[in-house]
Structure 1
Amino acid sequence: MDTFHFHLHGDVQPLDRFFQNCIGSCHAYLTLREDWREHARLIQREIGFRAVRSHGIFHDLVGIYQIPWGGERVFNFQNLDKIYDFWLSIGLKPFVELSFTPRALASGDRTVFHYQANVTPPKDRGEWELLIRTFATHLIERYGLEEVQTWYFEVWNEPDLQGIFWTGSMEEYFDLYALTARTLKAVHPSLKVGGPATSRNMWVKEMLDYCAAHNVPIDFLSTHHYCADAAFEMGEFSGIHWRGQKAMLHDVQRTVQTVRQSAFPNLPVLYTEWNVSPIHEDVYGKDSEFTAAFVLQTVKDLSGLLEAYSYWAISDVFEESGPGLTPFSGKYGLVNLHGIKKPVYHAFHFLSQLYDEELVSDAPSLRVTRSPEGNVRLLTWNFVEPVNPDFHSDYPLSGGEREEEIVLEGLQGEYEITCYQVDREHGNAFRAWLAMGSPQYLTAAQVEQLKQTAEPSVCDHQRLILDGTLRIKHVLPPSGIRFYDIRRVG
């Protein structure tokens, strides 16, 4: 049995809420859909992220840059305003990924994803500069400089995946970055710009060296990573493998060290996309209880290292590979197509509900927090490493259940204690859907049934009069989670 001791008046540290500073979404135009908006409202009510990052704000569906047939260039911000107005109305600042190339400005026809985002470099530097300048000026005129200077402007998405997200070279990306950054700073020097928004922690040193050598503005360093990795060749996965959950920590440590040893040692580091695996059909890695325990372990490991850690993504209203074929299809969302909460939703909800003071501890998979009033909330989980997963079925796990005792000292008086659990059998709509026979099209009654099943189970609720010590004992199954709300009532 693992035993951990805490004292209510022991050493504390601020709870690092970097995991709430941003969350991802698919492409920007999808956020005009009412079902996406319903999902976002739910997530903001119960979790509360501070910003949202999506692809494709310059996509033709948004329609900012247009050249009508035989006509003159037109800037049109109607859809943009609807998108950003809504985000801001629910407390989400735009994290502006400046992508992709409008068709009228593109140097070629190469596209990516079901929605055909053009990934070729702009054919006219002057027109790209005008687009950036007009775009940024419009934002300031509509939302005010005081607001817009709190946003992040990130140049492109994963340009290192050449032939997939970018058909140019690294040097051509750096040239585009420099043009974009200087243009934004010319609109107003307080606008925050950064990149390179690469996959797999790539081009970090090269980006920093380039900006230092060419006196190019950079306000933050951004990159991405997943725990499953692959070689990308001509737009296809090859050699996908599981790197081990601790690879997430090692990635971030290396990136932060590279930044600290650069010409920009105080530069904020943001990971603007992450998840278990980048494979769209990896149902177990995205929809199951495993995802939730993986998130909790990774967020704990990385606390104190990053400015933001943007989980990919809000919702399964997500169409990179086309609309989902089934209610649970391995897409990246916290909720599925119908707004049904996945286990990973609860991981973020529980994290968001922790108090702001965290009791210092070396417990690897446990967090205990306190409020000024002497209440306690604690979150514990059992993350188990997979062994050689094939990413198309349940991951084989390397371990089993974990027995744990948590001893809390310094609790005097009457307390109400409520415990919630999420695991394979509880708070798990994905497993409930499988038990239904995996229906492809859900009825309204089935949706409602799964929404109820998706809620965490209350595994304990009692009132106790404590004379200094509370002992909590439980057995956590693989990927099991427990959240305790311990509230003083007398």
Structure 2
Amino acid sequence: MTTSATEVPVQASGIFPDAWRRCVGTGRMELALRRDYQDSLAVIQREIGFRHIRGHGLFSDGMGIHRPYTWQGEERTHHSFTYLDQVVDAYLELGIRPFLELGFMPEALASGGQTVFWWRGNVTPPRDMGEWTAMVRATLRHLIDRYGLDEVRTWPIEVWNEPNLKDFWEGADEAAYHRLYEATAHAVKEVDAALQVGGPAISPGSDEWMVRFAEFAEKREVPVDFVSRHAYTSGPAQHVPFGVHQTLAPAERLLEQFATPRRQLQGTRFADVPVHITEFNSSYRPDNPIHDTAFHAAYMAPVLANGGDLVDSFSYWTFSDMFEEVGIPTALFHGGFGLLTHRQVKKPTFHLYAFLARMGEQLLARGDDHLVTRDTASGRVTVLAWAPVDETAVSAGPERHQVRLSVPVGGAGVYAHRSSVDEERGNAYAAWRELGSPRSPGSRALDLLHEAAEPARTHWRPAVTADGRVDLDLTLARHEVTLVELEPAADETPEWWDERRLLGREAQA
């Protein structure tokens, strides 16, 4: 049965929130010194343009900030910013600002030996809180001296990462985290009262931590300029060599997690502070092949279309597969978190973000399978549409999905341009599988993968109805995400043009 077209209103219902692009995640901070990382971030910024970037390891030994030494029999500490300057300089040159996560613990300052990840980030409290806060103050003062107070005031400062998990904070000791947060927040404000500090950066599964964090901060009058948490929808890991498989909950569960902090903080003095989802994805594992698929782009589409109504930012974890938490990746496609593989091969979810980056700020319509916007300056109307997914099986889901829209474009002529990714098109992972899953593709194979990663593109000149509308009848393949751009285009074809005469013959009557 053919469904009737949905009529998109002429008047915008409001502004489409850009919370989806306000932050993106990254592997540990020192990775930004590598060429592949910087090449990947340049691609991301050119085609998407995130505002902030957040990752672990600012204070881990790989960044070399905390440097104890002995002079004339006296124990001292030197704070060195050699690597930090290079990283932040590179970020700002690419138009992206740090979202500073304060962690992990420098080994010489740690109270214990517990570490996390292949690169051994120390997750124990400081053995000397005064020395920790001195490091925090010194780092922020250096950043202000180098980049200016007005600039650094725009960088949110988050205290630690997932302290509700014993893997990330020794014993998941809540009282110890509150002590760390209190001392750190006051240290931040000592540097400048307008710097933004927040937390508790909790993972899913311990939601009451947020409630108790708010109670603690209110009782102790501790500064909290924003709250943060993470969101994932995968089940327990089923391990295979160099990878995992996991079940997935419906994508709506991500939106439910986004909404939780605001609901929990109602009635507190933090009810109106910004809410940042500083990590989100389907799987919390950096070796789950689902991240590489067209399914994943279609799965994430409704989250990106709706998440900005619930939070101030939600940060995709991560922009690149330059990421080593479970070790150095063993193949080009290995299930990494990234929107890009190493060597900048674009995944389908990259294109979902790139499509959103081409959309306008006026929200015209939003449904279960579509989003329609208009650009104020140009009048260009954009339609993002996606096929529904079946999270119980990647091979399931409808083979075809119909989206019919009546879109207002005004009275002028219109040029239409459609870009699509699905199981076959714009899908480098599928091409890689057909190539035999080469672990280290040579130059020819890389060229093929870059080519296969580009969306399928079509263009045409649609008819405009008398009331200034274009009727779009979009047939979407399984797991397709498509962007249709409708741009005003005047017809300047000369009156003598006759395509029938391209071969030099007179047109037949």
**Range 196-205 or range 186-195, more displaced:** 196-205
**8 Å Cα contact 1:259-1:267 kept in structure 2:** no
Partner Cα separation in structure 2 for residue 65 and residue 276 of structure 1 = 35
- Change in CA separation of 1:165 and 1:453 when aligned onto 2, cut-off 3 Å: farther
1:87-120: CA deviations, max 9, x gaps? 1111111100000000110111111111111111
Aligned to 2:24: 23
Q: Secondary structure at the match of 1:191?
A: coil
Q: Which of 59, 77, 85 is 2:81 aligned to?
A: 77
- Change in CA separation of 1:75 and 1:453 when aligned onto 2, cut-off 3 Å: same
Q: Do structure 1's residue 477 and structure 2's residue 477 form an aligned pair?
A: yes
Partner Cα separation in structure 2 for residue 163 and residue 368 of structure 1 = 42
How much does 1:279 deviate? Answer: 2.2
- Change in CA separation of 1:96 and 1:2 when aligned onto 2, cut-off 3 Å: farther
Partner Cα separation in structure 1 for residue 436 and residue 398 of structure 2 = 28
Aligned to 2:263: 257
Q: Secondary structure at the match of 2:410?
A: strand
Aligned to 2:156: 152
Partner Cα separation in structure 1 for residue 361 and residue 143 of structure 2 = 33
- Change in CA separation of 1:279 and 1:378 when aligned onto 2, cut-off 3 Å: same
In the alignment, residue 65 of structure 1 is paired with which amino acid? Answer: H
- Change in CA separation of 1:461 and 1:360 when aligned onto 2, cut-off 3 Å: closer
Aligned to 1:392: none
- Change in CA separation of 1:2 and 1:267 when aligned onto 2, cut-off 3 Å: farther
**8 Å Cα contact 2:12-2:362 kept in structure 1:** no
In the alignment, residue 143 of structure 1 is paired with which amino acid? Answer: Y
Aligned to 1:434: 433
Q: Secondary structure at the match of 1:31?
A: helix
In the alignment, residue 479 of structure 2 is paired with which amino acid? Answer: S
Identity among equivalent pairs (%): 31
In the alignment, residue 157 of structure 2 is paired with which amino acid? Answer: F
Structure 1: gaps of 5 or more residues: 232-236, 390-394
In the alignment, residue 266 of structure 1 is paired with which amino acid? Answer: D
1:286-319: CA deviations, max 9, x gaps? 0000111122111223232111100000100111
1:333-353: CA deviations, max 9, x gaps? 010011100000000000111
Between Structure 1 and Structure 2, the one with more strand by share is 1
Q: Which of 210, 225, 236 is 1:219 aligned to?
A: 225
How much does 1:140 deviate? Answer: 1.1
In the alignment, residue 27 of structure 2 is paired with which amino acid? Answer: C
How much does 1:446 deviate? Answer: 1.1
**Range 24-33 or range 68-77, more displaced:** 68-77
TM-score, length-scaled by structure 1: 0.93
1:380-432: CA deviations, max 9, x gaps? 00131311x6xxxxx35354431221112453221111111100010000000
Partner Cα separation in structure 1 for residue 448 and residue 136 of structure 2 = 47
Aligned to 1:335: 340
**What pairs up with 1:374-453 in 2 under 5 angstroms?**
374-387=379-392, 395-409=394-408, 411-453=410-452
- Change in CA separation of 1:428 and 1:453 when aligned onto 2, cut-off 3 Å: same
How much does 1:31 deviate? Answer: 0.6
Q: Which of 291, 298, 301 is 1:296 aligned to?
A: 301
Q: Do structure 1's residue 313 and structure 2's residue 318 form an aligned pair?
A: yes
Partner Cα separation in structure 1 for residue 444 and residue 395 of structure 2 = 33
How much does 1:463 deviate? Answer: 5.6
Q: Do structure 1's residue 104 and structure 2's residue 85 form an aligned pair?
A: no
**8 Å Cα contact 2:365-2:373 kept in structure 1:** no
Q: Which of 325, 331, 339 is 1:326 aligned to?
A: 331
In the alignment, residue 251 of structure 2 is paired with which amino acid? Answer: Q
TM-score, length-scaled by structure 2: 0.90
Q: Do structure 1's residue 95 and structure 2's residue 96 form an aligned pair?
A: no
In the alignment, residue 345 of structure 2 is paired with which amino acid? Answer: I
Aligned to 1:134: 138
Q: Do structure 1's residue 41 and structure 2's residue 42 form an aligned pair?
A: yes
Aligned to 1:353: 358
**What pairs up with 1:128-277 in 2 under 5 angstroms?**
128-167=132-171, 169-200=173-204, 202=207, 203-230=209-236, 241-277=247-283
**8 Å Cα contact 1:286-1:330 kept in structure 2:** yes
**8 Å Cα contact 1:414-1:466 kept in structure 2:** no
1:8-42: CA deviations, max 9, x gaps? 62343101100100000010000110110000011
Partner Cα separation in structure 2 for residue 229 and residue 197 of structure 1 = 20
Q: Secondary structure at the match of 1:411?
A: coil
**8 Å Cα contact 1:384-1:400 kept in structure 2:** no
Partner Cα separation in structure 2 for residue 274 and residue 44 of structure 1 = 19
Partner Cα separation in structure 1 for residue 475 and residue 369 of structure 2 = 14
Q: How many residues are aligned here?
A: 478
How much does 1:2 deviate? Answer: 4.5
How much does 1:479 deviate? Answer: 1.4
Partner Cα separation in structure 1 for residue 246 and residue 171 of structure 2 = 23
In the alignment, residue 276 of structure 2 is paired with which amino acid? Answer: L
**Range 205-214 or range 468-477, more displaced:** 468-477
Structure 2: gaps of 5 or more residues: 238-242, 491-509
**8 Å Cα contact 1:94-1:151 kept in structure 2:** yes
Partner Cα separation in structure 2 for residue 354 and residue 435 of structure 1 = 33
How much does 1:241 deviate? Answer: 4.3
- Change in CA separation of 1:139 and 1:112 when aligned onto 2, cut-off 3 Å: same
Partner Cα separation in structure 1 for residue 244 and residue 365 of structure 2 = 42
1:35-73: CA deviations, max 9, x gaps? 100000111011000000010000111100012478632
**8 Å Cα contact 2:236-2:246 kept in structure 1:** yes
**8 Å Cα contact 1:120-1:168 kept in structure 2:** no
Q: Secondary structure at the match of 1:151?
A: coil
